[in-house]
């Protein structure tokens, strides 16, 4: 797998989590009239990892926006997303680290921003 496919693995992980049931997931943008709470996620940066002139993997940054009309709910969801991702490994990625976080009020909702970096290693 390359870093281009990371979002499908993130969707699989988050959508299967019992604690996130009722939270809608969208890549990049939410549909009109979406009810709170929801999570937007998107790949925001990708850098190839090279060894001896061969691409052996990618470092991929993925940004999450967790949106709700209740501040505490956004924090709870952000904590769960962090718990599911930070320092985890799978057959598709390793070395997941949180590299940024912030919060804001936007369009009648509280927003928690989290950015994680994934190391996706290719089979060589």
What are the sequence ranges of the domains in the chain? 3-121
Between the two ends of the chain, the Cα-to-Cα distance in Å is 11
Q: Dihedral sign, CA of 93, 75, 115, 29?
A: positive
Q: What is the pLDDT of residue 95?
A: 86
Q: What is the pLDDT of residue 121?
A: 85
- pLDDT, one tens digit per residue, over 44-88 is 999 999 999 898 999 999 999 999 999 999 999 999 999 999 999
Could you tell me the CATH superfamily of domain 3-121?
Answer: Phage tail protein-like (3.30.2000.10)
pTM, entire model: 0.94
CA distance 57 to 76: 32
Q: What is the pLDDT of residue 123?
A: 72
Q: Which two tokens stand for residue 119?
A: 């190391």
Q: Is the peptide bond before 26 cis (omega within 30 degrees of 0)?
A: no
Q: What is the pLDDT of residue 11?
A: 97
Cβ neighbours of residue 12 closer than 8 Å, sequence gap 6 or more: none
Mean pLDDT, rounded, for 4-8: 94
Mean pLDDT, rounded, for 104-113: 96
On the question of pLDDT at 124 being above 80, the answer is: no
- pLDDT, one tens digit per residue, over 13-40 is 999 999 999 999 999 999 999 999 999 9
């Amino acid at each position: 797998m390359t870093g281009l496919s990371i979002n499908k693995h993130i969707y699989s992980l988050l959508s299967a989590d019992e604690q996130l049931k009722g939270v809608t997931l969208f890549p990049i943008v939410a549909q009109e009239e979406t009810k709170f709470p929801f999570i937007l996620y998107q790949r925001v940066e990708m850098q190839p990892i090279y060894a001896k002139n061969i691409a052996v993997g990618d470092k991929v940054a993925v940004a999450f926006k967790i949106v709700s009309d209740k501040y505490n709910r956004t924090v709870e969801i952000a904590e769960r997303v962090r718990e599911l991702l930070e320092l985890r490994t799978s057959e598709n990625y390793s070395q997941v680290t949180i590299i940024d976080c912030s919060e804001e009020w936007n369009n009648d909702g509280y927003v928690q921003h989290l950015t994680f970096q994934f190391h996706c290693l290719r089979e060589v």
